Amino acid sequence: MFYVKNVPNWERALRLIMGMMALAFAVLNWHTSGLAVTAGVVGAMMAMTGLIGFCPMCAMVGRKLDKGH
């Protein structure tokens, strides 16, 4: 594995749910809202970080999982 997971399980679930909601919004409003493209991109990124368990932005600021608990 090339990365260390830096997103806890509860946050992974939350990111996955919110990412899917944003993707659903994007699909339903693709031709009617200019915000739909942005929501689609953000939703895809959130869903991927939720599935993988690694967030590059969190890694850049030094976030690590607490392995002791």
Per-residue pLDDT of the chain (69 residues; tens, 9 = 90+): 677 888 999 999 999 999 999 999 999 998 888 899 999 999 999 999 999 999 888 888 988 887 655
Q: Residue 14: what pLDDT? A: 96
Q: Residue 1: what pLDDT? A: 60
| H-assigned helices in the chain | 9-28, 35-52, 56-60
Using the Cα atoms of residue 54, residue 64, residue 10 and residue 57 in order, give the sign of their dihedral: negative
Q: Residue 49: what pLDDT? A: 94
Contact 46, 22 (CB under 8 A): yes
- Distance of alpha carbon 56 from alpha carbon 42, whole angstroms: 14
Q: Residue 3: what pLDDT? A: 76
